[in-house]
A and B are shown apart, each in its own frame.
Chain A
Amino acid sequence: MPDTAPVPIQALRGDLDATVGSLMAELEALGRIIADARLEVAALKADDIDAPDIPAATDELAAIVSHTAQATHEILDSCESLTNISDQLEQQHAQPLQHAITRIYEACSFQDITGQRIAKVVAALQAVERRIAGARQSMETRPPVVSATQPESLLNGPQMPGAGISQSAIDALFD
């Protein structure tokens, strides 16, 4: 049976010209770098990240949305009760109360905005989760790029302050 053990590149170098020898040494070094990188990726403990952490994070965020929604509905219940009381008051007392109630209604829309922002973060975390799972399943194949945003290009959700178009700029489009 022939000896199939790899022949060290250094041993072959005498038979090759300098350029080819140097190129093969570079390739050998590159191979070592790739092997080291694979060991480092394996050491990241992708299972640990994938299993409890990200699903727990998405659950926590979903709980935030749920709790704030519940709190908002309780605030709205209270506002509706105050409105009923206000209807029985004289105008001078009812007006400031109604004004305050309106401000509370306006402020309550925070829950919709934060809910949409959290949904975007959850989508991003789920995309990371899918990437980790893909990388774990196949170290040889790059997993497909997964977008954290929804497929519909016009469903972008709330923009960061200054990133979106302002109400006054929108109004200019309708004038």
Chain B
Amino acid sequence: MSFDHNIKVLVVDDYKTMTRIIRNLLKQIDVNDSDEASDGHEALAKLRAGNFGLVISDWNMQPMTGLDLLKEVRADARLKHLPFIMVTAESKTENVVAAKQAGVSNYIVKPFNAETLREKIAKVMVHA
């Protein structure tokens, strides 16, 4: 399954190490245009200002969680159709169900590999 590798991706995580890892993994799968935000508020500001084609967000952030960010994105008329992948260590069924109910496009449990990332991006971009 292929997708447009020219998409602009916003990686959201309050953990600098993880944003760096994800952005490097994106490069490894030939997605070279990415930016990062360290919390939900910064992410929303960047999404509203920029022309992003995909959000990859952690769940466990403060003060705005990834789930809150997802709900804000889905409530925004301009952003509501933006593909949104949750990449998180939260692996309880209720977390996945809550994210799905909030409109997440796909869900990746940490730790993950580059192939899983590529596969999920391809899947959500096909439906975008």
Q: Which residues of A line the B interface, CB within 8 A?
A: 69, 72-73, 76, 79-80, 83, 98, 101-102, 105-106, 108-113, 115-116, 152, 154-159, 164-167, 169-170, 173-174
Contact = CB atoms under 8 A, between A and B. Distances in A.
Contact of A170 (B24, B94, B107, B111): B107
Interface of B: 15, 17-18, 20-21, 24-25, 27-28, 59-60, 65, 67, 89-98, 100, 106-114, 116, 123
Contact of A106 (B15, B18, B94, B114): B114
Contacts of B123: 174
A111 B90 CA distance: 15
9 contacts: A102-B25, A109-B112, A112-B89, A115-B15, A157-B90, A166-B109, A173-B96, A173-B107, A174-B107
A69 B67 CA distance: 25
Nearest to B97: A173
Given A76-B24, A106-B112, A173-B96, A69 B17 contact: yes
A19 B24 CA distance: 80
A76 B20 contact: yes
Contact of A158 (B89, B113, B114): B89
Given A116-B89, A173-B96, 17 more contacts: A102-B25, A105-B21, A110-B111, A112-B15, A112-B110, A154-B59, A154-B67, A155-B59, A155-B90, A157-B60, A157-B90, A165-B96, A169-B93, A170-B108, A173-B97, A174-B107, A174-B123
Contacts of B97: 173
Contacts of B27: 83
Contacts of A102: 25, 28, 113-114
Contacts of A111: 17
A62 B91 CA distance: 24
A112 B16 CA distance: 10
Contacts of B98: 154
A102 B27 CA distance: 10
